[in-house]
Amino acid sequence: DGGITQSPKYLFRKEGQNVTLSCEQNLNHDAMYWYRQDPGQGLRLIYYSQIVNDFQKGDIAEGYSVSREKKESFPLTVTSAQKNPTAFYLCASSIVSVSSYNEQFFGPGTRLTVL
C-alpha cells in the first residue's frame, strides 16, 4: 500500500531531551512537510522540503531541525530549545509541479508528550 508512515504513534520524553520523529513515504513524492497541531489552532507548518538535501523553514521552525537525505524520509528533531514541544505532529507529502497547488497526503501523526 502506498502511503505515509509516522512512528511511533505516541512518544513520551523528559524535558531537556532531544527527540526525533520519523516520517517515511512510498508515494514517490518530491515534497514533504511537517506540521504541528495544538488545541484550538490550525495546523502550523514547521519545515518543508521540495527536494532531497534541501529544506526551508516554515512559520514555526524555532526549536526544530530536519534532514532530507533520502527522498522517502523526512525526520523531524524536536530539540530542547523548543519551549512547548508537547503537541500532535503531522507529516505530509505531495508532488511538485509548476502549478504549485497540489494536494498534500498526510500520515497518521505522532503525539509527543514532554514530561
Query: Is residue 62 part of the contact set for another protein (CB under 8 A)?
Result: no
Q: What span, in angstroms and rounded, lies between the C-alpha atoms of 87 and 36? A: 7
Query: Is residue 109 part of the contact set for another protein (CB under 8 A)?
Result: yes
CB of 18 to another protein, least distance (A): 26
Distances (CA, A) of 30 to 38, 53, 68, 110, 114: 27, 11, 10, 22, 31
Span of 19-27, 42-50, 64-72, 73-81 interacting with another protein by CB under 8 A: 42-50
Span of 12-20, 61-69, 70-78, 104-112 interacting with another protein by CB under 8 A: 104-112
Give residue 112's identity as a one-letter amino acid code: L
